[in-house]
Amino acid sequence: MACLMESSVPLQSYKEAAEWILAHTDQRPRIAVICGSGLGTLAETLENKTVIPYEDIPHFPSSTVPGHAGRLVFGLLNGKQCVCMQGRFHIYEGYSMSTVAFPVRVFSLLGVDTLIVTNAAGGINSNYSVGDIMFIKDHINMPGFCGQNPLRGPNEDGFGVRFPCMSDAYDQHLRHLAMDCTQELGLQDIVQEGIYCMLGGPSYETIAECNMLKLLGVDAVGMSTVPEVITGRHCRMHILGISLITNMAILSYNSTAHANHQEVLQTSQLRAAALIALLTNLVGKM
Ligand SMILES: *[C@@H]1O[C@H](CO)[C@@H](O)[C@H](O)[C@H]1NC(C)=O
Ligand SMILES: *[C@@H]1O[C@H](CO)[C@@H](O)[C@H](O)[C@H]1NC(C)=O
Ligand SMILES: *[C@@H]1O[C@H](CO)[C@@H](O)[C@H](O)[C@H]1NC(C)=O
């Protein structure tokens, strides 16, 4: 049973982290962006940056994955104050779901009410291609089926209710706004809308697992995002989730392809400019 125990983070830790940040920047963003694998370059485009390494912030976890820096970048994106997480946390690093989502509650205390979450994902839907941008319309919390949830443990009523609704986890209005942006930018041919499934990782999926996910109606699979979305929705944030399809899941035993992190990073670099243009345009409309 010990492996299922979620050690919930004390309320005081969120407060101390938020107070420390408020004392180290004058910026008061209402929009936070969590940058997925290889998408951290968005943060470089902010104007009037304040950069805060995670290790400077009391109680903040630290990122252990290549391709993920570890810092908060505050600044202006298309004239709007934003905070970007350059580097996120994953349960495969050994963190609990509540630790993975720690920054989201800190953002909430800073006054953030809109959360944009990006990730690199494997395409399960056979209509998808590598390089597609998928707006997440719903998710499946696969670790949740065996008790892993960032809200496990005593509820913090100050953040939200004990049993939060998740049927509206991904904000329709934001998604439509983002769709409009892709039209304006001429990206409509690479845009999809679908269901993201989180698995624990760090090993990639087996062929049998990919086929199972396909049967379940999953469009893309990855190892992140769900903890932050559940936590953000719990504290009533509006959420936009974007998956970049960096590789296609292997569904046939005849395939000679092999999933690897290099391919993920290469596709991210290929689409970084398009994603930055999309988010810049979108934030301007918010
Ligand atoms: C950006 O920083 C410069 C220099 O500190 C300042 O003059 C300018 O007003 C800032 N711009 C905005 C939009 O805050
Ligand atoms: C793929 O696209 C076709 C044509 O739009 C559609 O009929 C089919 O349902 C799609 N397949 C999946 C798995 O979404
Ligand atoms: C796999 O290869 C075998 C033998 O070449 C072929 O009969 C079979 O149809 C292939 N299966 C798929 C799913 O492509």
Q: Is 167 annotated as a binding residue?
A: no
Question: 173: how many CB neighbours lie within 10 A of its CB?
Answer: 10
How close is the Cα of 92 to the center of ligand 1, in Å?
40
Nearest to 105 by CA among 166, 97, 92, 279: 97
Q: Can you tell me which atom of ligand 1 is nearest the CA of 48?
A: 1
* 86 DSSP β-pair partners: 35, 71
pLDDT of residue 100: 96
Q: 26 to each of 57, 75, 140, how far by Cα in Å?
A: 16, 10, 38
pLDDT-derived band at 2 (thresholds 50, 70, 90) equals very low
Q: In sequence order, which residues have a C-beta less than 8 Å from that of residue 206 and are 6 or more positions away?
A: none
Cα-to-centroid distance, 127 and ligand 2 (Å): 6
Ligand nearest to the CA of 47: 1
CA of 242 to the centre of ligand 1 (A): 30
Which residues sit with their C-beta closer than 6 Å to ligand 1?
A: 48, 76
Instruction: Name the residue with the closest Cα to ligand 1, atom 10.
Output: 48
Q: Which numbered ligand comes closest to the C-alpha of 194?
A: 2
- pLDDT greater than 50 at residue 3: no
Asked: is 28-147+167-285 a CATH 3.30.479.30 domain? The reply is no
Q: Where in the chain are the domains? A: 28-147+167-285
192-246 residue pLDDT tens = 999 999 999 999 999 999 999 999 999 999 999 999 999 999 999 999 999 999 9
What's the whole-model pTM score?
A: 0.93
156 known member of a binding site: no
In short, whether 256's Cβ falls inside 6 Å of ligand 3 is: no
Q: How far apart are CA 190 and CA 198, in angstroms?
A: 22
Contacts of 260 (CB under 8 A, 6+ apart): none
Reference 75, options 103, 35, 39, 42; nearest CA is 42
pLDDT at 47 over 70: yes
Paired residues of 34 in beta bridges: 85, 117
Question: Catalytic amino acids?
Answer: 37, 68, 90, 92-93, 120, 223-224, 247, 261
